[in-house]
Amino acid sequence: MAFRWKNTLKDRDVTDEALFLNRRQLMGAAAAGAGFAMTGQAVAAEEALEPTSWDDITQYNNFYEFGTGKDDPVRYAGALTTSPWTVKIDGMVDRPADYDFEDIMKAMTVEQRIYRFRCVEAWSMVIPWNGFELADLLEVAGVQEGAKYIRFETLYRPSEMRGQSSNFIDWPYVEGLRLDEAMHPLTMMATGIYGRDIPNQNGAPMRLVVPWKYGFKSIKSIVRITVTDEAPVNTWQQLQPSEYGFYANVNPEVDHPRWSQATERVIGGGLFSPRIPTLMFNGYEEEVASLYAGMDLSKFY
């Protein structure tokens, strides 16, 4: 199976958007010349993915640990200490441990991938992430037989996360995936954007990215990963179960109770902020639809 979203660039020294875009074009040309088997549809989809600007990606955020305003994260996330950083991996694994983030980075292969990103609030971006596959990290820990889910936790540190002094959320922020979703090759841990280290407001030093699900599944600044046989209750499901479920797969046909999910507002789209149709599984239907075969997606939202 060809993962057309996977960019094979390995270098991490891409420091500006123009250079990044040039390299993408060069890579595209090189791939075509080498006779890579890309379908016409895949080429069209790749060409349609124009990355959102660095400024929009890093200044329009949701990260409630720093406040609920879109510009609260960029204003206040600088207070967060991200080094040293420890990620506890526990539960049904062969090698439970407190893993130092630097050691994780040494063990993982970082690559760049351009993914669509769709928030449940009906806005979207296209983000060039750097990171590694979650499956590779889980392999380091050794997932045991009988495991069914992965539970993720964000840091709880009210002294540096000013939004945590409000308790409308039962901190820490929690998310979860089914094991097969977690092991899917599209699922990544992002550690950078545009080849730079990921800014605090985007979830430094390491955040989940699940491109076919609404943005709230992509939990930031992760400190704990638990392999379990029990379905985790994620933060948004806990807050408002009639509006936010466990799956949160992007689906233009299943509306949020309070708004349509059929279209999305493109962030950075200019003066008229165009709306575009939302795609089933955010455009990753071919890769992930089989994970949900036979499920009623209006019931498992």
Ligand X SMILES: Nc1nc2c(c(=O)[nH]1)N[C@H]1C(S)=C(S)[C@@H](COP(=O)(O)O)O[C@H]1N2
202 appears as a binding residue in the annotation: yes
Nearer to ligand X, 92 or 251 (CB): 251
Specify whether the CB–CB gap between 139 and 126 falls below 8 A.
no
Give the integer Cα–Cα distance in Å for 1 and 68: 40
Q: Under the criterion CB under 6 A, does residue 244 sit at the interface with ligand X?
A: no
As a three-state string, the secondary structure of 87-116 is EEEEECECCCEEEEHHHHHHHCCCEEEEEE
Nearer to ligand X, 65 or 264 (CB): 65
Task: Give the pair of three-digit tokens for residue 191.
Answer: 């550690």
Q: Under the criterion CB under 6 A, does residue 194 sit at the interface with ligand X?
A: no
Q: Which one of residues 154, 237, 278, 282 is an interface residue with ligand X (CB under 6 A)?
A: 154
Specify whether the CB–CB gap between 225 and 150 falls below 8 A.
yes
Nearer to ligand X, 89 or 210 (CB): 210
Cβ-proximal residues to 108 (8 Å cutoff; 6+ apart), any chain: 132, 136, 137, 189
What is the residue type of 148?
K
Interface positions, 200-219, toward ligand X (CB under 6 A): 202-203, 215-216, 218-219
Shortest CB 238 distance to ligand X, Å: 13
Over the Cα atoms of the chain, what is R_g?
19
| Binding partner of residue 187 among ligand X, Mo ion, none, CB cut-off 5 to 8 Å per kind | none
Give the integer Cα–Cα distance in Å for 244 and 293: 21
Shortest CB 105 distance to ligand X, Å: 19
114 appears as a binding residue in the annotation: no
Interface positions, 51-70, toward Mo ion (CB under 5 A): 62
Give the integer Cα–Cα distance in Å for 252 and 247: 14
65 appears as a binding residue in the annotation: yes
Nearer to ligand X, 5 or 92 (CB): 5
226 appears as a binding residue in the annotation: no
Bond from prior residue into 205 cis (ω within 30 degrees of 0):
yes
Specify whether the CB–CB gap between 110 and 132 falls below 8 A.
yes
| Binding partner of residue 202 among ligand X, Mo ion, none, CB cut-off 5 to 8 Å per kind | ligand X
Q: Under the criterion CB under 5 A, does residue 227 sit at the interface with Mo ion?
A: no
Interface positions, 111-140, toward Mo ion (CB under 5 A): 119
Q: Which residues are annotated as a binding site for Mo-molybdopterin?
A: 61, 64-65, 119, 154, 202, 207, 218-220
Q: Which residues bind ligand X (CB under 6 A)?
A: 61-65, 119, 154, 173, 202-203, 215-216, 218-221
